[in-house]
Amino acid sequence: MNEVSEKSNLDVKNLHVGFQTKKSVIKILNGIDFSVKKGETLCIVGESGCGKSLTSLSIMGLLPKTGNITAGEILFDGKDLAKLNQKQLSSIRGNEISMIFQEPMTSLNPVHRIGKQITESIRLHQKVRKKEAEERAIEMLRLVGIPSPEKRIHQYPHELSGGMRQRVMIAMALSCKPKLLIADEPTTALDVTIQAQILELINKLKQEMEMSIVMITHDLGVVSEIADSVLVMYAGEVVEYSDVKSLFRNPQHPYTKGLIESIPKMDVEMAELPVIKGSVPDPMEMPTGCRFSTRCPYAQAACFYEVPPMEESEDSHQVRCWMYSERWETIEREGILDDCSRETAASRELIGG
């Protein structure tokens, strides 16, 4: 997947994000790598707190005040977004890259009519007359399936249903014909029928507009319907990265397997996985080796102190787990990797010494 970088319009490389506290920097994202080709949909999945939203906010330059990109690159059409200032980023946001959120009211202003909001967003980035922007707003509202858009533009957000508000937000996000749409759980708050309609709409628009999509979702049903490739995140790291068919046919990381086995019982908040006990570790108390070791049914001593590398296990499929390494046999047989690790492990009382 990395070898196609030159054709990608988004290339995230070794992204690290930390939060500044009074005493230190808490590391949250620990070397995220992925790329999205033109016209492709990448889904990011993982439980709450894995770092999905912060990954997308980093791309948009919208990290909270105390959050910083501490290393890495975010290449978008050749530009490194991580190096741009807020002014440069704001000219890209809502223009070349748009974002939609779970709750439409975070993007919609409650005191302005929806027509005004869309036309202003169009005119902020493009030199068009008011009349033309208004016509485009109506056209966008029609495109997202809002009936009688000429009348709707005079309404306020609170006068619309949740599903209609979500459509308005999508219309606004797409009104500038972005090259990249980032959607953070855009359908979570909606009922199943509306959710299906919105996803179908996003898919249709993607094809019509040749746009790339980064979609964050905890719903693997959604992933199977819309993704071309999937990034599975756990505790601020990527643990599996694959094309969608390969991921569902042959999920490899124990965490991904747990997510897939949990599908029928999956709760909206995904606070707990029925088949994987425990929860995502606190960023202040990350396990030293594999971050999943505290919950993994296959964990061996080495897993607790040696970080597994991200490795290509088959074509277009990468996984971060010792089980897919040539060294797994040794790990299983001896519980350790080498003498140096043996000392570390002994000092941690993980093995007998």
- Binding stretches for Mg ion (CB under 5 A): 53
- Cβ closest to Mg ion, residue 1 vs residue 226: 226
Is 211 an interacting residue with respect to ligand SF4 (CB under 6 A)? no
Among 1, 211, 301, 321, binds ligand SF4 (CB under 6 A): 321
- Cβ closest to ligand ADP, residue 28 vs residue 227: 28
Rounded to 10 degrees, the C-alpha dihedral 168/170/172/175 comes to -130
Among 171, 299, 350, 351, binds ligand SF4 (CB under 6 A): 299
With beta carbons less than 8 A apart as the criterion, state whether 116 and 178 touch.
no
Q: In one letter, which amino acid is 245? A: K
Q: Write down the least CB distance from residue 203 to ligand SF4, Å.
A: 33
Is 310 an interacting residue with respect to ligand SF4 (CB under 6 A)? no
With beta carbons less than 8 A apart as the criterion, state whether 119 and 130 touch.
yes
Gap between the Cα atoms of 353 and 348, Å rounded: 9
Is 298 an interacting residue with respect to ligand SF4 (CB under 6 A)? yes
Question: Cα dist. 33→73, 161, 224 in Å?
Answer: 9, 38, 21
Residue length of the chain:
353
Is 323 an interacting residue with respect to ligand SF4 (CB under 6 A)? yes
Is 345 an interacting residue with respect to ligand SF4 (CB under 6 A)? no
- Cβ closest to ligand SF4, residue 67 vs residue 254: 254
Q: Write down the least CB distance from residue 351 to Mg ion, Å.
A: 37
Q: Write down the least CB distance from residue 111 to ligand SF4, Å.
A: 50
- Locate 246 and state its tokens: 């390969």
Strand 79-80, strand 311-314: pairing: unpaired
Is 251 an interacting residue with respect to ligand SF4 (CB under 6 A)? no
- Locate 326 and state its tokens: 């040539």
Is 290 an interacting residue with respect to ligand SF4 (CB under 6 A)? yes
- Locate 101 and state its tokens: 């959120």
- Cβ closest to ligand SF4, residue 29 vs residue 296: 296
- Cβ closest to ligand SF4, residue 61 vs residue 289: 289
Q: In one letter, which amino acid is 302? A: A
Gap between the Cα atoms of 80 and 83, Å rounded: 6
- Cβ closest to ligand SF4, residue 119 vs residue 313: 313
- Cβ closest to Mg ion, residue 53 vs residue 344: 53
Name the segment binding ligand SF4 (CB under 6 A); options: 6-14, 26-34, 102-110, 294-302. 294-302
In DSSP terms, 98 is beta-bridged to 181
Non-local CB neighbours of 139 within 8 Å, separated by 6+ positions:
149
- Locate 84 and state its tokens: 């741009």
Is 234 an interacting residue with respect to ligand SF4 (CB under 6 A)? no
Is 137 an interacting residue with respect to ligand SF4 (CB under 6 A)? no
- Locate 32 and state its tokens: 């995220």
- Locate 119 and state its tokens: 């036309």
Number of residues forming the site for ligand SF4 (CB under 6 A): 12
- Cβ closest to ligand ADP, residue 145 vs residue 283: 283
Is 350 an interacting residue with respect to ligand SF4 (CB under 6 A)? no
Question: Cα dist. 148→133, 153, 256, 344 in Å?
Answer: 17, 9, 44, 68
- Locate 269 and state its tokens: 């908040």
Question: Cα dist. 235→14, 268, 290 in Å?
Answer: 15, 19, 10
Q: Write down the least CB distance from residue 134 to ligand ADP, Å.
A: 36
Q: Which does 303 bind (CB under 5 to 8 A by kind): ligand SF4, ligand ADP, Mg ion, none?
A: ligand SF4
- Cβ closest to ligand SF4, residue 202 vs residue 299: 299
With beta carbons less than 8 A apart as the criterion, state whether 221 and 208 touch.
no
Binding site for ligand ADP (CB under 6 A): 19, 28, 46, 48-54, 64, 66-67, 283
Residues found near ligand SF4 in the complex (CB under 6 A): 254, 290, 292-293, 296, 298-299, 303, 308, 321-323
